[in-house]
């Protein structure tokens, strides 16, 4: 992985800028490593080491590496600004909701899964975020489905509505990533980079 900023997409540059503006350093060589992982994941965030793991066996092209980095950088950003306790199910689920909301679950994803409907776009998006966040929680935590759903009921609304550091949902195959990067100064990001 090269450290040149021309290699980073605008979304990754925004997330790095948001981390730095929030008082958290980000050095690609220190905070990102590549390792073999379970075939079920493309990356992970280790809060104790403050390090993102990109799975060398499942994140195998530029797009999947960028996707894994962006998802895990949301966790890193949440840990930085909110001092999350990843042992707390509510905290862990909240950051998974935010990562699913901001980095996944587009209308295009719904079309691919066969659940798209123009009259239910917002509800479908929320359902996708819930499914993805619960699946992530249950993949890393030994928790019953009932306890996971109870946690979801407690935190979903607050965490779903927190769009920092992007300020919006991104549309796939649009110029949204460039827009959020250009608008980073409006949200207080980019001055420390």
**Residue that the structure tokens 């009932």 belong to:** 146
**SS3 state at 161:** coil
CB-based contacts of 134, cutoff 8 Å, min separation 6: 93, 148, 149, 152
Catalytic residue among 72, 96, 164, 178: 72
Could you give the C-alpha distances from 169 to 26, 103, 179, in angstroms and in order?
24, 8, 12
User: Within 10 A of 114 (CB to CB), how many other CB atoms are there?
Assistant: 6
Helical axes 62-82 vs 89-103, angle rounded to 10°: 140
72 as an active site residue: the answer is yes
The values of phi and psi at residue 31, to 5°, are -100, 0
**SS3 state at 186:** helix
Which positions are annotated as active-site residues? 72
């Amino acid at each position: 992985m090269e450290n040149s900023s021309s290699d980073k997409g605008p979304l990754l540059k925004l997330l790095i800028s948001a981390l730095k503006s929030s008082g958290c350093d980000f050095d690609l060589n220190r905070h990102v490593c590549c390792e073999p992982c379970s075939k079920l994941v493309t990356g992970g965030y280790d809060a104790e080491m403050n390090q993102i793991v990109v799975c060398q066996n499942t994140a195998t092209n530029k797009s999947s590496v960028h996707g894994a980095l962006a998802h895990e950088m949301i966790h890193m950003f949440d840990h930085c600004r909110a001092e999350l306790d990843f042992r707390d199910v509510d905290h862990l689920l909240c950051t998974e909701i935010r990562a699913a909301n901001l980095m996944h679950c587009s209308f295009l994803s719904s079309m691919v899964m066969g659940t798209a409907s123009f009259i239910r776009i917002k509800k479908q998006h929320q359902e996708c975020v819930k499914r993805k966040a619960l699946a992530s929680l249950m993949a890393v935590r030994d928790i019953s489905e009932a306890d996971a759903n109870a946690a979801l009921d407690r935190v979903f609304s607050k965490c779903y509505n927190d769009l920092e550091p992007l300020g919006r949902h991104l549309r796939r195959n649009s110029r949204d990533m460039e827009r959020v990067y250009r608008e980073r100064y409006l949200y207080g990001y980019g001055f420390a980079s």
